[in-house]
Structure 1
Amino acid sequence: MNVALHPPKPRPGDLVAVISPSSGLPGLFPLPYELGLSRLRNDFGLRVAEYPTTRTMGATPRQRAADVNAAFADPAVKAVVSSIGGEDQITVLPYLDRELIRACPKPFFGYSDCTNLLLFLRNLGIVAYHGGTVMAELGRPGALHPLTERSLRAALFTSGEYELSPSDDYRDVDRPWDDPRTFDGEPGTEPAEGWFWHQGDRTVEGPGWGGNLEVLSWLLMAGREVLPAEEYRGHVLFLETSEDMPSDREVYWILRSMGERGLLRQFPALLMGRAKSWSFEQPLGSPERAGYRERQRAAVLRALREYAPDAMAVFDVELGHTDPQQVIPVGGRIRVDGPARRISVTY
């Protein structure tokens, strides 16, 4: 796989597109969405263009794809940002205009179900950015977490190397988006334990590849956007799990299938996001949440022992469904320095 292109970055005053390629949740939960839009405008200094399905629940895959195509085709639009994730973006992929998007590369920000579009862009040779949705990060109650804001600003506006930092605190428990009281102040956080290093005795550098583990499993089953395993030799894998909270057995089974496909052994290093361990359906207490994260780590390590025993891994990295969140470039360089316990990315 050739080195990917870093699209030109927007500047304050430029126009950015906000799209909903997975779900029109802005129409159901306007409070975090409007807050995120206001921060894009007032704090980041950007102008915003919305599209027909941005706030529309139930839009067809073809309609959502039309918005994606239009956002990339518009020469006035300098970046594209997803409102939120969802669960059926895989059905949008067949309607995307590959040649149009290849000819009009732009920075795209999203994660979770946007793993579909992120890997689609990577396969077109375009660096894309895992993180930074309007509703979840920009729409955070009270204020953006400082670590989130620094990373998002760097990825959105600048180019070059950026060092990730382990956070002193994190948030796992959510509050309802349809309750105005949620937005009266910042959410509560708890102390973070830092990154957990496995076989951190070397330095690895390579293009980043990965995303949400559950969505990757769907792409693998559908045979979409995942290239032959050898194409990823020397890449740095990054993975994270969602608020659906897959069990440790499910996590192991997915990684086992990736191992059987020959994927895991291609990656000399893995960054594993801090596991989301609370949801409205599973409101675990603190000890139970810690146990969930420990079991997931054990499942990942088991898969690595069996399929990539020489790989280095770093756990509880601030990527994906966690707060704070740092942006990871898909196709951009990632450097994992085990002896120095440092991780840097190229935006």
Structure 2
Amino acid sequence: MGGVRPDLTVPRKLSAGDRVAVVSPSFAAPGMFPAIHERAMRRLRDDFGLEPVEYPTTRRLGAAPEDRAADLMAAFADPGVRAVLASIGGDDQLTVLPFLDPAVVTGDPKPFCGFSDNTNLLNWLWNQGVVSYHGGSTMMHLGRVGGPHPVSAASLRAALFGREDLALHEVDVFSEEELDWNEPASLDTPSPTAAAPGWSWHQPDRVVTAPTWGGNLEILHWNLAANRWIRPAGDYAGCVLLLETSEEMPPAAEVYRMLRNAGERGLLEQFPAIVVGTAKASSLERRTEPAERERYRADQRAAILRALDRYNASAMVVFDVDLGHTDPQWILPYGGLVTVDGPARRITAHF
């Protein structure tokens, strides 16, 4: 086992009938797209046996950071609420963190699920010594046409209810096509799918079982720029790094620069194993053709390897794992243990 944070607390698991907070620490998408949100809430009740609890800013567009933080603290402070789920990501959650009270969270640790801009909260909780879960947006995954993908549903169940290991596997098809939620047809139209790229391994010569850290690369870079909630580089030694990029589709040159900056800080060299999500290569704002998507992902893989060649040449890397902005999504422990088994070409999440 690697890592220097064996002290991270795994929150207790849920039981059927438990109340769970649904919050919007970033963008209040439930207020703009209530039909998608209501469908997600029904599935929490009907498919997962949980009772969602909303807060004043869950649907309030443009809520102040102080108000969003107050709702988070109310959710974590309520002994009757047993988990906290983010509705979706956004772009300014960094401004919420200064208003959070660590004592509230550590006094009654609860599972938190989110990704993208919620990397801010995942990282903040890691700093408080609390394990959380990367993934599981209610709008994106529970509100999905046809219900949550089996991969997303199984791993969300493991995060909330399970105490066993979950072996990840490759998928045959995936989606990166966004539906326009402003269009009524999006309520009943599944996202188009395409053949998944499949996992690719770089230097699969070891077995690493360690706590995870990381998340969305752009958000991690903002944390580095703000110089808050980033610990001394040695505190991450031996951890498994999770990396994924957003629908803003940063170019390969920018991906390299962000990783270079982490390398110059001594951070990139700390991770013996890195798990990289399938890069989302199309969006509502920028529709791309299949050949362009393949080039984008190939260029991003090359940029990551270029940075590692300079700052962590011995790292083992798995590319194109379904853990980011594409669908389906594996919800993974954040601060909890993951095993990356290179010789067996296997990844296991320990819940």
In the superposition, the TM-score normalised over structure 1's length comes to: 0.98
Out of 308-317 and 173-182, give the one that drifted further: 173-182
1:16 to 13, 16, 20: 20
Describe the SS at the equivalent of 1:291.
helix
> Is the contact between residue 31 and residue 177 of structure 1 (CA under 8 Å) also seen in structure 2?
no
Measure how far apart 1:182 and its partner are.
1.4
Of the candidates 298, 322, 332, which is equivalent to residue 318 of structure 1?
322
- Number of equivalent positions: 347
In the alignment, does 2:291 pair up with 1:298? no
CA distance in 2, matches of 1:122, 1:176: 34
Tell me the CA shift for residue 185 of structure 1: 4.0
Cα deviation for residue 151 of structure 1 reads 1.1
Tell me how far 1:160 sits from its aligned partner. Answer: 2.9
Write the mapping of 1:225-304 to structure 2, written as runs, cut at 5 A. 225-304=229-308
SS for the counterpart of 1:165 is coil
Shift of residue 187 of structure 1? 2.1
Displacement of 1:225: 1.3
1 CA distance for matches of 2:36 and 2:218? 25
1:33 aligns with 2:72: no
- Which residue is equivalent to 1:334? 338
Q: Could you tell me which residue of structure 1 aligns to residue 77 of structure 2?
A: 73
Q: Secondary structure at the match of 1:293?
A: helix
Q: How far apart are 1:149 and its partner, in Å? A: 1.1
Q: CA deviation at 1:279?
A: 0.7
In 2: Cα distance, 1:103 partner to 1:75 partner: 10
Partner of 2:83, secondary structure, is: strand
How far 1:278 sits from its partner (Å)?
Answer: 0.5
Q: Which one-letter code corresponds to 1:2 in the other structure?
A: R
2:242 counterpart SS class: strand
SS in 2 for 1:251: helix
Deviation at 1:336, TM superposition (A): 0.5
Q: Distance in 2 between matches of 1:224 and 1:320?
A: 23
Query: Separation in 2 of the partners of 1:2 and 1:246?
Result: 31
| Contact preservation (8 Å) 1:32, 1:141 | no
Structure 2 equivalent of residue 2 of structure 1: 5
Shift of 1:41: 0.8
**Cα shift readout 1:243-266 (whole Å, capped 9, x = no counterpart):** 010000110000000000001110
Residue 153 (structure 1) aligned with residue 150 (structure 2): no
- Matched with 1:47 is 51
Whether the aligned pair in 2 keeps the contact of 1:252 and 1:303 (CA below 8 Å) is yes
Query: Secondary structure of the residue that 1:149 maps to in structure 2?
Result: helix
The answer to whether the aligner puts 1:217 opposite 2:221 as a matched pair is yes
Give the aligned residue type for 1:256.
Answer: R
* Pairing 1:145-184 to 2, within 5 Å after superposition: 145-184=149-188
Contact kept? 1:143, 1:186, Cα under 8 Å: no
**Which residue pairs with 2:61 in the alignment?**
57
Is the partner of 1:271 in helix, strand or coil?
A: strand
Q: For 2:147 and 2:161, locate their aligned partners in 1 and report how far apart those are by CA, in whole Å.
A: 20
Structure 1 runs (4+) greater than 6 angstroms displaced: none
Select 2:199's aligned residue among 195, 198, 219.
195
Identity value in percent: 54
- The answer to whether residue 347 in structure 2 is matched with residue 343 in structure 1 is yes
Aligned mates of 1:11, 1:174 — CA distance in 2: 33
For each residue in 1:23-57, what CA deviation from the matched residue of structure 2 results, as whole angstroms up to 9, or x when unmatched? 11111111221111111011111001100000001
Compute the displacement of 1:161 (Å). 1.7
Cα deviations by residue, 1:95-150 (Å, 9 ceiling, x for unpaired): 00111111110000000000011011111111000000110111111221111111
Confirm or deny: 8 A CA contact 2:155 2:332 kept in the other structure: no
| Structure 1 unmatched ranges of 5 or more | none
Matched residue type, 1:88: D
Of 198, 202, 209, the residue aligned with 1:205 is: 209
List gaps (5 residues or longer) in structure 2: none
Residue 309, structure 1, aligned to residue 309, structure 2: no
Q: Contact 1:319–1:325 at 8 Å: present in 2 too?
A: yes
Residue matched to 1:106: 110
Q: Measure how far apart 1:294 and its partner are.
A: 0.6
Q: Is the 8 A contact 1:31 1:178 kept in 2?
A: no
3-state DSSP of counterpart to 1:210: strand
Aligned residue for 1:205, secondary structure, equals strand
Q: Deviations over 1:36-80 (max 9, x none)?
A: 111101111100110000000111000000000000000000100
